[in-house]
Amino acid sequence: MKKQQVVAATLFTLVVVWMVFPRGAQSTNEEPSESEPRIVAAGQNQSASEDPNVITVRAANIRPQTYVERIRVRGQTQAYRHVEVRAEQAGRIVGNPIARGARVEAGDVLCEIAVDNRAAELNEARSRLEQAEFEYRGAQDLRDRDLQSAVAVAQYKAAVDSAKAAVTRAELALEKTRMVAPFAGVVEQRQVEVGDLLNVGAVCASVLDDSPMLLVGLVPESDVSQLSLGASVTAELINGDVVEGVVTYVARAADPVSRSYRIEAEVATNQGTIRDGITAELMVETDEIQAHLIPSSALTLDDNGDMGVKTIDSRNVVHYERIEIIGDNTGQLNPGIWVSGLSGNVTLITVGQEIVFPGQVVEANFDWSNQR
């Protein structure tokens, strides 16, 4: 072999040795690569691991509960009855009419018109009745002795009946000089003053029956089939008051414009003073179903944008469950949202659900027997 070839081979060997052995020595001094972090599912009250190689997610056992479905209805308060009391006799107002805002009982006088000649007409009608009855008795006596015809007796009988009718009309005319409240309530409007002349049909006052009050609203045709008489209703008034009642009426015919159905709910009388016409939001109870109350933080979306939650089964495998929100407990002692789509008791990942993926096995850092 030529000398140049030997030198070249030697240099090549030295280069290879230099490149291999120092790099191998360096690699032996490097720390081994870190392993993938562990995912541990801990209970709500358990402390998280301080190990930097451990990622903790929170899980809670959620049991199904009875949930009452509700229909939200926009409505308002309304008086049970509100009528205008009108004059049935013409006349001049005497005495002070009842004041606006006064509470009255059934039969209390609201307005009174002058009696004028009505009392005299009643006395005259009673006298004519007495005369007609006397003549009728005389005719009957003559008829018993065959001294009077049956036709004449019938005429006297008709005269008696006519006189009785005249007395009744005179009594009613006198009675109707005093316009009274048809039921207990509050005088909402007073239309007349002392000295006013009322014609037949003119309004004396309006009376509002506020015991009980009603909650009224229009239910869409898609929901009306779920309603039933006696269903419980909770309403929040625009002033912040909350009242309760029961459904007492569901219309059989739809409103021709909105195609909605009128409902009425009667409010208990012991729930304070409620005015007529206050805007209210009604929650009408319908069916009872089994649902789960979960924290809103547990919600997540899948790749298709469908809403759901992630759960852990008894083998510590993560699953994605699609759910549907059916209600909420906002402002309640136990806040959260009501969902359907879950079956039986579930171990729900409440915090850290974005870290894990369906099919992944996690380490359960709690007692399954206490969670199920």
Query: How does DSSP assign 159-216, residue by residue?
Result: HHHHHHHHHHHHHHHHHTTEEE-SSSEEEEEE---TTPEEPTT-EEEEEEEEEEEEEE
Q: What is the pTM of this model?
A: 0.62
Render pLDDT for 137-196 as a digit per residue (tens, 0 to 9): 998 988 888 888 888 889 999 999 999 999 999 999 999 999 999 999 999 988 888 888
- The pLDDT score that the predictor gives to residue 303 is 81
Radius of gyration (C-alpha) of the chain in whole angstroms:
45
**8 A C-beta contact, residue 37 and residue 337:** no
Phi-psi region of 222 (alpha: psi -120 to 50; beta: other; left: phi over 0): alpha
Question: What is residue 17's DSSP assignment?
Answer: H
Whole-number Å distance between alpha carbons of 295 and 160: 85
**3-state SS, residue 256:** coil
Mean pLDDT, range 252-278, rounded to an integer:
87
- The pLDDT score that the predictor gives to residue 23 is 45
| pLDDT for 22 beyond 60 | no
| pLDDT for 266 beyond 80 | yes
Mean pLDDT, range 62-74, rounded to an integer:
88
Tally DSSP H helices, then E strands, for the chain: 4, 21
Render pLDDT for 202-260 as a digit per residue (tens, 0 to 9): 999 999 998 889 999 999 998 888 888 999 999 999 988 889 999 999 999 998 888 99
Whole-number Å distance between alpha carbons of 216 and 240: 17
Whole-number Å distance between alpha carbons of 123 and 173: 13
- The pLDDT score that the predictor gives to residue 56 is 80
Cα of first residue to Cα of last residue in the chain, in angstroms, is 83
Mean pLDDT, range 48-74, rounded to an integer:
82
**8 A C-beta contact, residue 39 and residue 57:** yes
Contacts of 198 (CB under 8 A, 6+ apart): 87, 90, 91, 92, 93, 111, 113, 192, 204
Average pLDDT of every residue of the chain = 84
pLDDT range class, residue 29, cuts 50, 70, 90:
very low
pLDDT range class, residue 25, cuts 50, 70, 90:
very low
- The pLDDT score that the predictor gives to residue 76 is 94
**8 A C-beta contact, residue 349 and residue 362:** no
Render pLDDT for 309-330 as a digit per residue (tens, 0 to 9): 999 888 889 999 999 988 887 6
Top-level CATH class of 71-80+209-287?
A: mainly beta
- The pLDDT score that the predictor gives to residue 3 is 47
| pLDDT for 336 beyond 90 | no
**8 A C-beta contact, residue 68 and residue 150:** no
Fold of 115-176: Helix Hairpins (1.10.287)
The answer to whether domain 54-63+295-371 has CATH 2.60.120.380 is no
Mean pLDDT, range 358-372, rounded to an integer:
69
User: pLDDT above 90 covers what percent of the chain?
Assistant: 39
Render pLDDT for 186-203 as a digit per residue (tens, 0 to 9): 999 888 888 888 899 999
- The pLDDT score that the predictor gives to residue 146 is 84
| pLDDT for 75 beyond 90 | yes
pLDDT range class, residue 126, cuts 50, 70, 90:
very high
| 290: nearest Cα among 68, 65, 62 | 65
| pLDDT for 279 beyond 90 | yes
Mean pLDDT, range 9-28, rounded to an integer:
51
Residue that is written with structure tokens 């569901």 in the block: 250
258 sits in which H/E element:
none
Whole-number Å distance between alpha carbons of 153 and 136: 7
Higher pLDDT, 33 or 125: 125
Residue type, 6: V
- The pLDDT score that the predictor gives to residue 5 is 54
Contacts of 281 (CB under 8 A, 6+ apart): 72, 73, 74, 75, 235, 236
Whole-number Å distance between alpha carbons of 73 and 220: 9
Q: How many CB atoms lie within 10 A of CB 67?
A: 19
